[in-house]
Amino acid sequence: MRTLEGPKSSRRVGAGVAGACSLLVLLLAGCQGSDGSAHLPNRAARVAVESDWPELEGRPAAEPSRVRISDAGIDAPVVPLDVDSRGALIPPDTGEVAGWWRNGPEPGERGPAVIAGHVDTSVGPAVFYRIPKLSEGTEVVIDRADGTSAVFTTYRVEEHPKDEFPTGSVYGATALPELRLITCGGRFDAAGGRYLANVVVFARRTG
């Protein structure tokens, strides 16, 4: 995967970012052959708040390496995702892996860690094919590079038209460690070659 940035940035999304800053287009790793558009906070509006976002006791944050959701039959690698010169997220090269927005919180840090994945490809279902069917109370396990795992429990699943993506609730600061899983959903526009909506799963850390 082409990388446009250097080592992991210390910048994080701060309180009030979604409502106050300009927005960039995010090409979500969720739509084969489509733009998967949603929104990311402008880089200039990201603030370094790591010192204000302590980890849960005894569980330092680390980059995600795998996502596991037994109820959905998901057990897949997670790769870091960078943005290109336009501010568009560079999606994974394959539908078999999920991608983590590396300029956001790591799973386990205070704030919303964002992981996106393809819903399908030209040859069939992809890694996040069953994400739209998740229900409240589903356990999501994120294995991390340091050998530990962070457990999250879903509390909401939403579907939004692409031009009404809920930027604030997805990327805005949270009081505790949270997780967002994003893929495409809604009707597939064959003429345009894209899905017309995004599905967002909201989860809180519970272990």
pLDDT band at 31 (very low <50, low <70, confident <90, very high): low
pLDDT band at 60 (very low <50, low <70, confident <90, very high): low
Residue 56 placed within a domain: no
CATH number for 119: 2.40.260.10
Q: What is the pLDDT of residue 188?
A: 87
- Asked whether residue 106 carries a pLDDT value surpassing 90, the answer given is yes
In degrees and rounded to multiples of 5, residue 52 shows phi and psi of -95, -5
CA–CA separation, 187 and 4 (whole Å): 32
Q: Is residue 63 classed exposed, middle or buried when 0-12, 13-18 and 19+ CB atoms within 10 A define those classes? A: middle
Q: What is the pLDDT of residue 89?
A: 67
How confident is the model over 172-195, as a mean pLDDT? 90
| Contact (CB, 8 A) for 158 and 195 | no
The owner of tokens 């680390």 is 62
Residue 58 placed within a domain: no
Query: What is the H or E stretch that residue 17 is in?
Result: helix 17-20
Type of residue found at 88: A
Compute CA 136 distance to the chain's CA centroid, rounded to the nearest angstrom. Answer: 18
Residue 3 placed within a domain: no
CA–CA separation, 90 and 28 (whole Å): 8
How confident is the model over 61-86, as a mean pLDDT? 92
High-pLDDT (> 90) share of the chain, %: 53
Residue 118 placed within a domain: yes
Stated pTM of the model: 0.76
Residue 4 placed within a domain: no
Residue 151 placed within a domain: yes
- Asked whether residue 17 carries a pLDDT value surpassing 50, the answer given is no
CA–CA separation, 160 and 179 (whole Å): 18
Residue 8 placed within a domain: no
In degrees and rounded to multiples of 5, residue 127 shows phi and psi of -55, -40
- Note down the domain range covering 131: 17-49+64-205
CA–CA separation, 117 and 100 (whole Å): 9
β pairing state of 74-81 and 98-101 = parallel
Residue 11 placed within a domain: no
Instruction: Provide the domain count of the chain.
Output: 1
| Contact (CB, 8 A) for 192 and 178 | no
